[in-house]
């Protein structure tokens, strides 16, 4: 029996939850993986040694069961308009279970009056979990994931274009972290609460890249020329609704449009890159080209072919025929909580005070 504390990973089949679980198991920690259904990911994690719990993460009764016998936990809320509900359920159960340490996945953009409902809920969720009396907390706040660019990798592979509403192609605006590098910072914080309690980390890739450089890295990995094309938010909403994996809800698309505006404003370039992946995660951050190469190696359909080109052209036609999403209507129809004067991150004094000077030194990162 392991003498290490047992760790709960919520959203264990997700972009960061899955690598967090695998990395914890590799370090010899017993892990309970909380998933919403038993599928291939659950089977893979079970084979790796995780205890699988299938349940509803929004149900307090299920979260209480998930917390039984747990000492530490990774709080990873789904990207959904009910994320605050998830985090409230998690916090109540964590308080009842008297967890010793929690690592939360937040956002680099998080601020009190942000235009994005999702981001305001992250701000409130982080404040809630820090009200836990005897439980220490570490926040991991990544920005624009490398994985976000890969939503359009099929178009790049078969038509030679990388299309996103990221503004000018030559401006360096993001240092994209891989899912695995983000996970490494979570795992480092879970493994050593004494060092990382009450601290906030922002994992990034090793260098700031422009959209043109993102396209060039894709081209090298795909062994073809790829050109960046700046598109409108309207076109982005059409693409996200039309192309597989078409699992982006209208709610998620409405928030991605806001994050694209933050991207164009340069918010993800502030204080990037950091040393957090190396100092906390214990690894060198992965270059974007390497991330794409791994994906290409795992997906043979990304290799150039007549069939692939025909499929990409059909996808482009589908985008053209798909109605654009009325972002204002979505938020109004869903009765999103509205605030009178929303402010983007760099227009918020509190955000500037806490984000414009990154203290990754021998003392690691800023205390929050």
Is residue 215 pLDDT above 70, yes or no?
yes
Average pLDDT, the chain: 90
Q: What is the DSSP string of 228-297?
A: EEE--HHHHHHHHHHSSS----HHHHHHHHHHHHHHHHTGGGTT-S-SHHHHTT-SPPPPHHHHHHHHHH
- The two tokens of residue 163 are 């299309």
* pTM for the model: 0.91
Among 140-144, 150-154, 179-183, the range scoring the smallest mean pLDDT is: 150-154
What percentage of the chain's residues is helix, strand, coil (to nearest 5)?
A: 50, 10, 40
**Higher local confidence (pLDDT), 150 or 242:** 150
Residue 361's pLDDT is: 42
Percent of the chain with pLDDT over 90: 71
CA angle at 265 for the pair 261 and 266, rounded to the nearest 5°: 120
Is residue 367 pLDDT above 90, yes or no?
no
CA-CA distance, 35 to 197, in Å (whole number)? 26
Average confidence (pLDDT) over 327-334: 66
- Would you say 152 and 182 are in contact if contact means Cβ atoms under 8 Å apart? no
Q: Which residue has the tokens 């359909």?
A: 301
What topology is assigned to 147-175+207-271+300-338 in CATH? Answer: UDP-galactose 4-epimerase; domain 1 (3.90.25)
- Would you say 100 and 136 are in contact if contact means Cβ atoms under 8 Å apart? yes
pLDDT digits (tens, 9 = 90+) for 92-104: 999 999 999 999 9
Terminal-residue alpha carbon distance, the chain: 35
Residue 79's pLDDT is: 73
**Higher local confidence (pLDDT), 84 or 240:** 84
- CB atoms under 10 Å from CB of 181, counted, come to 27
- The two tokens of residue 255 are 């928030």
Residue 247's pLDDT is: 54
**Higher local confidence (pLDDT), 309 or 276:** 276
């Amino acid at each position: 029996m392991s003498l290490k504390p047992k760790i709960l990973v919520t959203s264990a089949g997700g972009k960061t939850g899955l690598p967090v679980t695998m990395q914890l198991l590799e370090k010899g920690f017993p892990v309970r993986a909380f998933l919403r259904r038993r599928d291939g990911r659950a089977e893979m994690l079970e084979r790796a040694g995780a205890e699988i719990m299938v349940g509803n993460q929004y149900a307090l009764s299920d979260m209480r069961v998930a917390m039984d016998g747990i000492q530490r936990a990774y709080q990873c809320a789904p990207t959904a308009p009910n994320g605050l509900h998830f985090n409230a359920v998690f916090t109540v159960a964590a308080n009842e279970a008297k967890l010793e340490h929690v690592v939360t996945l937040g956002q680099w953009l998080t601020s009190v009056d942000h235009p994005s409902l999702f981001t305001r809920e992250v701000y409130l969720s982080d404040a809630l979990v820090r009200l836990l009396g005897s439980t220490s907390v570490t926040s991991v706040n990544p920005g624009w994931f490398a994985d976000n660019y890969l939503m359009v990798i099929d178009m790049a592979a078969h038509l030679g274009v990388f299309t996103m509403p990221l503004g000018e192609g030559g401006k360096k605006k993001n240092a994209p972290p891989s899912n695995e590098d983000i996970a490494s910072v979570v795992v480092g914080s879970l493994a050593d609460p004494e060092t990382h309690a009450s601290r906030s980390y922002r994992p990034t890739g090793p260098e700031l890249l422009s959209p043109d450089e993102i396209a060039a890295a894709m081209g090298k990995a795909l062994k073809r020329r790829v050109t960046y094309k700046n598109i409108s938010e309207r076109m982005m909403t059409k693409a996200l609704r039309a192309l597989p994996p078409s699992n982006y809800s209208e709610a998620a698309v409405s928030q991605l449009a806001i994050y694209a505006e933050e991207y164009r404003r340069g918010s993800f370039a502030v204080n990037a890159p950091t040393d957090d992946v190396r100092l906390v995660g214990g690894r060198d951050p992965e270059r974007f080209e390497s991330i794409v190469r791994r994906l290409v190696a795992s997906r043979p359909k990304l290799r150039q072919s007549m069939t692939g080109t025909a499929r990409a052209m059909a996808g482009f036609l589908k985008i053209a025929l798909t109605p654009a999403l009325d972002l204002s209507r979505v938020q109004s129809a869903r009765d999103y909580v509205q605030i009178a004067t929303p402010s983007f991150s760099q227009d918020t004094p509190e955000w500037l005070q806490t984000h414009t000077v990154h203290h990754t030194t021998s003392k690691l990162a800023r205390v929050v």
